[in-house]
Amino acid sequence: MLAKLPGATILLCMVDVLHAFAIEEKNTFSRMACPSYLMFDNAAYLADMTFELPCNCKPDTVSSVVWYFQKNMGGHETSVLTDFSGTVVVDSGHVRSGSSMLNRFSIRMFSLIVFRAQEKDSGHYLCGTERGDYFYGYDVDVQPTWRIVVAFVDRGQHVQDDTTEDVLNLFTTFWDWTRCDRCGVRGEQRRIGLCYLQSALLHPRYRTAVPNVTSCGSGAVPWHLRPRSHLRRPEVVIRSCLTSCQKKEVPKEGVQTISNIISKMGEKPWVPRVPTQFHKQPVGTKLILGCPGARPEHAVAWDKNSIRLYRSRFLIGVNSTMRIFIDHGNQLHIQRVKITDRGTYFCWREGTMVAGFRLSVFYRRWRRRTLYDPETTYAANIIGKSYLIIGAVFVAIHLGCCCWRRCRRRAAT
């Protein structure tokens, strides 16, 4: 009997631990009482970011939640973001930015996760039950990157000035600077800024961190003020930085074998030892590279072989004619791939080089062209623009001639 006591004691302890865990999970939702009148918490993000919305309160009798999405408060169109079991699982590595939100969400521990959010995902998110009982709500504002304003500190550029009007003030709220995206060499830092406004005319049903202050695309902004709030754009500030790399432990003398030393003698001195993927790409196609494990808010940098692809030169929008650029989601784009693009592309994440992509470019065998080929689309686009320009010049010349003849006739009479 005495020999069984330790096992029984351990079993009782495990029961106590599970009971305490259940009480703690129960108290997580009982700390905040659900409001009797549904309010909406304001949250703002930049496009292509991934955000999480926790269901901060629910009755103890509810074991699973259902998330709803409404573009406008009280609208008739409502999307149900669940499989009614709360077991939706999404692999974020296979999520594309242009896909539907129904393919870009996941519910984990009662929280809603939206991957690579787009501007169309802005709206109201409600946590509730299958019967339509709502517990908690969010007012999410996803601000687009195609309207973003870029300021390079090294070039003496400055952020936007605040705008003060009679009924509202427009300004930018900046996040903290990211880490330096490279170490041991010159790197860059980013600082993301989102558009916010201050007004005493905001809808009282929306809850904000600061009174009378909300994001520019929030549903709390009255309809007659929304055209003014869209005049200000989100911002990103970029500056140079320099940080040292973390020192690696040096192996003790005699630990490294002679074979390792001989194998290193044939390596190129500038090639980093990181996991490398091999990729083949046809000439004339489009290629997009993403850094493994990186999110848009991370500090990410790209190199081609030993050449640094700094944002001050390769950021999207810096030059309208560039073929290789980095978007605001930290992805590297190569338009109309050429033979000269072959090489090894390295990506840095949070100041550490994490991966390489060895790109080989080849010519495709002849095949029948289709209207959906990138080359056909590009040629049709150029030809169409050329015809439009020629047509506009032709019409302008004829209008000028007609006006000149009419003026001469009036002068003669």
Beta bridge partners of 40: 137, 206
Question: What is the residue extent of each domain of the chain?
Answer: 40-143, 149-242, 272-362
Distances (CA, A) of 61 to 57, 69, 148, 364: 12, 23, 45, 62
CATH (residue range 40-143): 2.60.40.10
All residues at 6 or more sequence positions from 404 whose CB lies less than 8 Å from its CB, including other chains: none
Tokens 């003398």 map to which residue?
Answer: 253
Q: Which helix (H) or strand (E) holds 49?
A: none
For residues 3 and 144, give the distance between their C-alpha atoms in angstroms, rounded to a whole number. Answer: 68
For residues 270 and 278, give the distance between their C-alpha atoms in angstroms, rounded to a whole number. Answer: 19
Question: Cα 277 from chain centroid?
Answer: 24
Residue positions counted in the chain: 413
E strand intervals along 221-351: 235-242, 276-282, 287-289, 300-304, 307-309, 324-326, 332-334, 343-349
Output the pLDDT for position 269. 55
**Same topology for domains 40-143 and 272-362, yes or no?**
yes
Q: What is the reported pTM?
A: 0.71
All residues at 6 or more sequence positions from 342 whose CB lies less than 8 Å from its CB, including other chains: 359, 360, 361
pLDDT averages per 10-residue partition of the chain, 413 residues: 45 44 43 73 92 86 84 79 53 49 76 89 90 88 92 93 91 94 94 95 91 94 91 94 80 51 50 87 92 90 94 89 91 93 95 94 73 73 89 90 86 74
What CATH class does 272-362 carry?
mainly beta
For residues 199 and 213, give the distance between their C-alpha atoms in angstroms, rounded to a whole number. Answer: 7
Parallel/antiparallel/unpaired status of strands 276-282 and 352-362: parallel
